[in-house]
A and B are shown apart, each in its own frame.
Chain A
Amino acid sequence: MGTTVTRGVLLLAGLAAGVYGAVLLLQLDFSRLLSTVVWLAGGVVLHDFVLAPVVVVLGVLLVRVVPDAARRPATVAAVVWGTVTVAALPVLSGQGGKPDNATLLDRPYWTAWLVLTALVLLATVGASLLAARRDHRP
């Protein structure tokens, strides 16, 4: 009973909020609305038909290529490194900022990313070697 009420309230509130947002969107002029729709669709296409399939393929490769002892560390590394990298793409892109404003995007982002990548690699190799030693112990 409680669950049914909760679901009903969430459903109605969700529909109301969604309709309100749609009404706000429809108040934009046509070219802005078009640009919004392109970006809304673009994100889904980029994820569902580019990023996700690439990750699936990499997952298959990981199973086939990576030795058994390295499998778990490599998977953890891929999850952490991959998602952190995606989150850092805006600052790594080299886009944005203003030429006359030295206080925006004022860190060595690529150096930082290379250091992060090297640390993740080191940790993965280290954990894999430990796992291999443990596996070979009688």
Chain B
Amino acid sequence: MRLPRVEDFEDRLRVPEVTSRVGSVLGIAFTVCFLTGLWSHWQYGPPGWLTIPTSPAWLYRVTQGTHVLSGTVAIPLLLVKLWSVFPRLFARPVLKPAVPALLHVLERASILVLVASGIFQLVVGLLNTVQWYPWSFSFRSTHYAVAWVMIGALAVHVAVKLPVIRRSFSHRVDADEPAAGSRLSRRGLLRATWVAAGLTFVLSAGQTVPLLRRVSVFGVRSGDGPLGIPINRTAAAAGVPDGSTGDAWQLELSYAGRTVTMDRAALESMPQRTYALPIACVEGWSASGDWTGVPLRDLVESMGAPARSRVFVTSLQTRGAFATSELPEQFVEDERTLLALRLSGEPLTLDHGFPARIIAPNRPGVLQTKWVTRLEVAG
């Protein structure tokens, strides 16, 4: 037994022409995934220079659906890409002269970082979509930190390989390819890879693209649920206390030291609006619903506060990181932001946030606070 060498592997298909083409598409998928992920991260606490717009209402639905789907589609691409360069793992280290030896070590290290962070992001991201957390780090902060490592290692890798990439793209993929005979050709391998990526897309995209619902048999959600909308977290899972959502429920509304309480009947007697707005989960699924309720700005103005105010929302839920949320001014001012009482014309179900929940255009699902008990208008 001995360690394999680079020359031990058949090199008919494992050529830079193939690697560059699959790698370029994979690089684009990773970059799209990184950018949409950054955008999603900013929704939770935007940097000072960024004001998240309320229109289009479907923006986050599209960016986050794209985030999860680009990551899912990257899996076949990554597997073929790594297959095509696997022999390089056994390349013997350059020992001297010193400078090439050092460069060789640095390049191998950058590739190790790229492969480790790339696999990590895809695996951890996909497990998050099925709400499976077999690790002891917190998902969001780690996924965010490793994303920067991954995109950095990707940029370094492209910088190192740019001459090879350019050379590979300067001629056809099958230039100087020996006759394939009954075997798969380079062109055939590329086509198979694109088919695999396309199939992966079609088989899961229905979790966010309504037209594909029926064919997306590997989607994490069929899109069905009570009143036509799936549920991310039930009232029981969120630790909403028993009895707190019954007839005794009251909404506390406070502004400038004054607090008013309203029950559900009082809210229902106010002018109601209905809007079609999506629930778009950070996990990549989304669904559009017809929500009916009181525009938040009406409640804010009834307290004598300006429509352009920040509002802190508190939920009855006792578990999970999102028991409170903050609605920036532009969302409060937008009349489509509702304290919703109904979905599809019916009273909300308990798991959809009964007695009342926030629904705003272009917001991640976890910030659409359910089981609202208190609205505090910032002074």
Contacts and interface: CB of A to CB of B under 8 A. Distances in A.
Interface of A: 3, 6-8, 10-11, 13-22, 24-25, 27-28, 31-33, 35-36, 38-41, 43-44, 47-48, 52, 55-56, 68-69, 71-72, 75-76, 79-80, 82-84, 86-88, 90-91, 93, 95-98, 100-109, 112-113, 115-116, 131, 135
A103 B230 contact: yes
A32 B152 contact: no
26 contacts: A10-B155, A10-B159, A14-B157, A17-B149, A20-B148, A21-B146, A22-B149, A25-B142, A25-B149, A36-B142, A41-B116, A43-B115, A43-B116, A43-B120, A44-B115, A47-B115, A52-B86, A79-B196, A84-B76, A87-B76, A87-B204, A96-B132, A97-B130, A103-B226, A103-B231, A104-B231
B221 A103 contact: yes
A83 B200 contact: yes
Contact of B159 (A11, A21, A97, A115): A11
Nearest to B123: A43
A21 B130 contact: no
Contacts, number: 241
Interface in B115-155: 115-117, 119-120, 123-124, 126-127, 129-132, 134-138, 141-142, 144-155
B184 interface: yes
B300 to A, nearest CB: 32
Contact-residue bracket for chain B:
35 or more
Interface of B: 9, 72, 75-76, 79-80, 82-83, 86, 89, 112-113, 115-117, 119-120, 123-124, 126-127, 129-132, 134-138, 141-142, 144-160, 162-163, 166, 180, 182-184, 188-189, 191-193, 195-196, 199-200, 203-204, 217-222, 224-226, 230-234, 236-237, 351
Contacts of B82: 47, 52
A90 B199 contact: no
A86 B219 CA distance: 14
The 3 A-B residue pairs with the shortest CB-CB distance, nearest first, are A18-B152, A21-B148, A14-B155
B182 A71 contact: yes
Nearest to A51: B79
A128 to B, nearest CB: 10
Nearest to A38: B135
Nearest to B129: A90
B156 A107 contact: no
A112 B183 contact: no
A101 B234 contact: yes
Given A7-B159, A107-B217, A28 B137 contact: yes
Q: Is the interface of A mostly helix, strand, loop or mixed?
A: helix
B236 A86 contact: no
Q: Is the interface of B mostly helix, strand, loop or mixed?
A: helix
A14 B152 contact: yes
A52 B221 CA distance: 31
B217 A90 contact: no
B130 A24 contact: no
A31 B136 CA distance: 7
B13 to A, nearest CB: 9
Given A32-B138, A100-B234, A101-B231, A79 B148 contact: no
B306 to A, nearest CB: 37
B116 A40 contact: yes
A132 B322 CA distance: 61
A58 B60 CA distance: 42
A14 to B, nearest CB: 3
Contact of B145 (A25, A43, A79, A88): A25
